[in-house]
Chain A
Amino acid sequence: MLSELLQGIETGGLLIIQDSCSYSGRDLLRSFIAAALNREEEVHVLCFDVSEDELTDGLKPPATQRLHVHNAYPDPLGWTDHPAFAVQQFRLEDLTDLVKQASQPKPATLVIDSLSWVLRHAAPPAVCRTLQQLRKGGAVRAVVALLHADMHQRGTVGSVCHLASSLVAVAPGPKGNEAVAKITKRSKSGKVAQDEETFCITEDLTVAVLSRPSSLPEAKPNGSEEEQADPTANLTFNLRLSESELEAKQKLTLPFVFSKEKKTALLHPGPGSGRILYEPDANDDYDQEDPDDDLDV
């Protein structure tokens, strides 16, 4: 499933890569950027955590024409007079302007490295609202964000991941350069698909999916089907029927087997078969509180 995600995120999708300090998800994020560039898409990157050089290291020149990096690393909070991009600009209007002025008419993919920076300096409900509006609006085709799960409270991480259409949680794998990814994908119809894969990232930012650590349930081989244990075998008496006995059994008429007409007549009682006509008379005028009918009320 990781390779499917790398090949393309559906329009209006939000992919969140959740990592922790034991394994950094930045390499996976960079391979998503590389894959999007190779697909001839415009990519806008909001760079908070690391410098621009470190992020774009390994991306080849012809592809980097479509890459627009908004470098917030030197001055993320806008302390100088002219910051390239500041955290306060993480709002729908500013982001839409940013994306529209740089790219071609085709909508772009927005990559955020990392969302944790934004969540530290802006209120989580506002960030969630902005992310949701970005997805619904037409300026951005899809959003890929990196989130450091151990930097926030569980509720914050949960709320942000609740919005995501795909979630990839990475953890260190059994061997040195391998990692395990737990992928959850939610489709619009409400179906949820989950998967767990081991992968490693090569020098040129391609992801090699190695194996699936969770063993799939063994598919039953089609050829060998166990026969149901035959209960009539291995007995000291005979329970089987011969041909003539089978015929006689089927010819036997059971008691209380009626013909079809009698059955319908019994099942659907016709009108007028048993109606009770009653008109209330003096005996029904029984008052509980005045049984002898002699009180003068």
Chain B
Amino acid sequence: MAAPVSGMGEAPAERLPVNSTSFQKKTRSKLVSIPGTRPSVQNGQLLVSTGVTSLDYLLGGGLAVGTVLLIEEDRYDSYSRMILKYFLAEGVVCRHELFVATAQDNPDDILQELPAPILDDVAVPKAVEQPRLTGEPQDSLDAMKIAWRYQHLPKVQSALASSSRFGHYYDVSKTMEAEIRQAAKCHRFCLPDHVTPSSTAHRLESYSALLESLQEVIHREGFDLAAPMSKSRNILRVGLHSLGSALWGDDLCCHDKPRHRHALTTFLYGLRALLRSSLSVAVVTLPSHLIQDRALMGSITRLCDNAIALESFKGSERETNPLYKDYHGLLYVRQVPHLNCLASQLPDHKDLAFKLKRKQFSIERLHLPPDLSETVSRVSRGELASACGPSASGTKNLDF
């Protein structure tokens, strides 16, 4: 539909002003533009990246601001700690503020292990990296001889990734440089500094101390949504390591019928309420393999918005299974939230496996290889015929 272009030959001074029509485009509700966030394409929520692009894709584009991501730890807490580090590193790169809480270890231990970001990463086309067989000098165009028009397109990957460049990539073999890390503001919470343990306490104080500390930080630094929008807003990333373990004073993991049964669930309820009213996002790791009460585990999962579980192959009999040889473990998506909508978008694939590579934590669909052996049973012809057509006894009644 070609519309005539008016004013082509006129001098610029005589051109009509642009707003000559009364037509006004309906704009979206005022979304704060904070670096490192973007609105979701599905429901308009403000999303932040978890640091792992495959995980962003599984959670519907990213973590919505104001929600909690629960990570059920693997047996030796290696990969869940890695995802927590990715989350915090993403916060440093996007210039968000961090809040890290640990029970007995120093939060600085986690902060010093953050992976180094790959800062100049664009989707590097794989074609450039192919070895140069012809030996010609640095000439990327000759790497593809026939399909050279596809030179600059990224290679198709079976790893799940969002199409837009929202998250960053990290190199696990290097730690983040101190200058980059110190540029980010970080609040720490270490349990021994806040709570003096007393063996006669009938109520667990560690969780309430944590919640109070978090509330105080949110209020003081201005992450409250109720605060006036005077200065530029930022996001607070909260990382809670190994909540519910015995080091927090909770006997959830120790006993089959824990005494402080509702301490963690009360905390999660309060945490979610706190996050909903502020510009923060939380990642909580939980050693769920130690919790014997599955009903309690279910209620903990319900209280968090997003929930994933990691199962590492290390130490289990699955390590030697040839099916799993390319991967480091399995990943289960337990829950995806439905915020301001009726139904949530669960990922299509239920069998997911993850692999920690040097530059990427990739989550892929677990493919079953085709069974080409001779022992595969095939439906015999006789059975087929009897299944499709009416059986001999059946036609008796239908005989007209």
Residues of A within 8 A of B (CB): 123-126, 128-129, 132-133, 136, 153-156, 158-160, 162-163, 184, 186, 190-192, 194, 254, 256-257, 260, 263-264, 266-267, 277-285, 287
Stretch at the interface among B74-82, B180-188, B382-390: B74-82
Query: Are B146 and A155 in contact, CB atoms less than 8 angstroms apart?
Result: no
Q: Which residues of B contact A267 (CB under 8 A)?
A: 141, 148-149, 151-152
Query: Are A184 and B315 in contact, CB atoms less than 8 angstroms apart?
Result: yes
Query: Are A129 and B251 in contact, CB atoms less than 8 angstroms apart?
Result: no
Query: Are A125 and B250 in contact, CB atoms less than 8 angstroms apart?
Result: yes
**CA of A154 to CA of B253, assembled, Å:** 9
Interface flags for B1-15 (1: CB within 8 Å of A; 0: not) read 001111100000001
Name the distance in Å between A155's Cβ and chain B's nearest Cβ.
Answer: 5
Name the distance in Å between A1's Cβ and chain B's nearest Cβ.
Answer: 14
Stretch at the interface among B36-44, B226-234, B287-295: B287-295
Q: Which residues of B contact A156 (CB under 8 A)?
A: 254-255
B251 touches which of A124, A264, A278, A281 (Cβ 8 Å): A124
B residues 110-163 in Cβ contact with A at 8 Å: 139, 141-142, 145-146, 148-149, 151-152
Q: Is B199 an interface residue (CB 8 A)?
A: yes
Stretch at the interface among B241-249, B274-282, B347-355: B241-249
Q: Is B318 an interface residue (CB 8 A)?
A: no
Query: Are A162 and B151 in contact, CB atoms less than 8 angstroms apart?
Result: no
Known contacts being A124-B246, A128-B246, A192-B76, is A133 close to B149, with CB within 8 Å?
Answer: no
**CA of A285 to CA of B5, assembled, Å:** 15
For B8, give the chain A residue with the smallest CB separation: A277
DSSP majority for the A interface? helix
Q: Which residues of A contact B251 (CB under 8 A)?
A: 123-125
Q: Is B400 an interface residue (CB 8 A)?
A: no
Query: Are A159 and B253 in contact, CB atoms less than 8 angstroms apart?
Result: yes
Query: Are B149 and A266 in contact, CB atoms less than 8 angstroms apart?
Result: yes
Query: Are B253 and A281 in contact, CB atoms less than 8 angstroms apart?
Result: no
**CA of A249 to CA of B248, assembled, Å:** 72
Query: Are B255 and A155 in contact, CB atoms less than 8 angstroms apart?
Result: yes
Name the distance in Å between B240's Cβ and chain A's nearest Cβ.
Answer: 17
For B74, give the chain A residue with the smallest CB separation: A192
Name the distance in Å between B293's Cβ and chain A's nearest Cβ.
Answer: 9
Q: Which residues of A contact B6 (CB under 8 A)?
A: 279, 281
Q: Is B22 an interface residue (CB 8 A)?
A: yes
Q: Is B197 an interface residue (CB 8 A)?
A: yes
**CA of A282 to CA of B76, assembled, Å:** 68
Query: Are A192 and B314 in contact, CB atoms less than 8 angstroms apart?
Result: yes
For B144, give the chain A residue with the smallest CB separation: A263
Query: Are A284 and B21 in contact, CB atoms less than 8 angstroms apart?
Result: yes
Name the distance in Å between B76's Cβ and chain A's nearest Cβ.
Answer: 5
Q: Which residues of A contact B3 (CB under 8 A)?
A: 278, 281, 283-284
Name the distance in Å between A227's Cβ and chain B's nearest Cβ.
Answer: 22
Q: Is B104 an interface residue (CB 8 A)?
A: yes
Name the distance in Å between A12's Cβ and chain B's nearest Cβ.
Answer: 11
For B141, give the chain A residue with the smallest CB separation: A263
Query: 21 pairs across A/B with beta carbons < 8 Å?
Result: A125-B248, A125-B251, A125-B254, A128-B246, A128-B247, A129-B247, A133-B104, A133-B192, A153-B256, A154-B256, A155-B292, A158-B253, A159-B245, A159-B246, A160-B246, A162-B253, A184-B315, A192-B76, A277-B5, A279-B6, A279-B15
Q: Size class of B's contact patch?
A: 35 or more
**CA of A278 to CA of B250, assembled, Å:** 67
Known contacts being A124-B254, A280-B21, is A155 close to B291, with CB within 8 Å?
Answer: yes
**CA of A264 to CA of B149, assembled, Å:** 10
**CA of A60 to CA of B6, assembled, Å:** 106
**CA of A282 to CA of B22, assembled, Å:** 10
Residues of B within 8 A of A (CB): 3-7, 15, 18, 21-23, 76-78, 81-82, 104-105, 139, 141-142, 145-146, 148-149, 151-152, 192, 197, 199, 245-251, 253-256, 287, 289-292, 314-315
Residue of B4, B139, B251, B254 with most chain A CB atoms under a 10 A cut-off: B254
Known contacts being A153-B292, A159-B254, is A190 close to B21, with CB within 8 Å?
Answer: no
Q: Which residues of B contact A124 (CB under 8 A)?
A: 246, 251, 254-255
For A263, give the chain B residue with the smallest CB separation: B141
**CA of A274 to CA of B52, assembled, Å:** 38
Name the distance in Å between A119's Cβ and chain B's nearest Cβ.
Answer: 9
Q: Which residues of B contact A159 (CB under 8 A)?
A: 245-246, 253-254, 290
Q: Which residues of A contact B18 (CB under 8 A)?
A: 279-280
For B4, give the chain A residue with the smallest CB separation: A281
A125 touches which of B4, B151, B249, B292 (Cβ 8 Å): B249
Q: Which residues of A contact B105 (CB under 8 A)?
A: 136
Query: Are A264 and B141 in contact, CB atoms less than 8 angstroms apart?
Result: yes
Q: Which residues of B contact A123 (CB under 8 A)?
A: 199, 251
Name the distance in Å between B222's Cβ and chain A's nearest Cβ.
Answer: 35
Known contacts being A159-B254, A190-B78, A254-B145, is A154 close to B292, with CB within 8 Å?
Answer: yes
**CA of A280 to CA of B19, assembled, Å:** 9
Q: Which residues of A contact B290 (CB under 8 A)?
A: 155, 158-159, 162
**CA of A278 to CA of B148, assembled, Å:** 34
For A217, give the chain B residue with the smallest CB separation: B320
**CA of A284 to CA of B151, assembled, Å:** 40
**CA of A155 to CA of B258, assembled, Å:** 10
For B109, give the chain A residue with the smallest CB separation: A188
**CA of A266 to CA of B23, assembled, Å:** 40
Q: Which residues of A contact B22 (CB under 8 A)?
A: 285
Q: Which residues of B contact A285 (CB under 8 A)?
A: 21-23
Name the distance in Å between B63's Cβ and chain A's nearest Cβ.
Answer: 23
Known contacts being A153-B292, A257-B146, is A125 close to B5, with CB within 8 Å?
Answer: no
Name the distance in Å between B140's Cβ and chain A's nearest Cβ.
Answer: 10
Name the distance in Å between A136's Cβ and chain B's nearest Cβ.
Answer: 7
**CA of A248 to CA of B6, assembled, Å:** 60
Query: Are A279 and B7 in contact, CB atoms less than 8 angstroms apart?
Result: yes
**CA of A256 to CA of B145, assembled, Å:** 10
Query: Are A257 and B199 in contact, CB atoms less than 8 angstroms apart?
Result: no
**CA of A287 to CA of B21, assembled, Å:** 11
**CA of A194 to CA of B313, assembled, Å:** 12
For B19, give the chain A residue with the smallest CB separation: A280
Q: Which residues of B contact A257 (CB under 8 A)?
A: 145-146
Residue of A123, A257, A282 with most chain B CB atoms under a 10 A cut-off: A123
For A135, give the chain B residue with the smallest CB separation: B104
**CA of A192 to CA of B314, assembled, Å:** 7
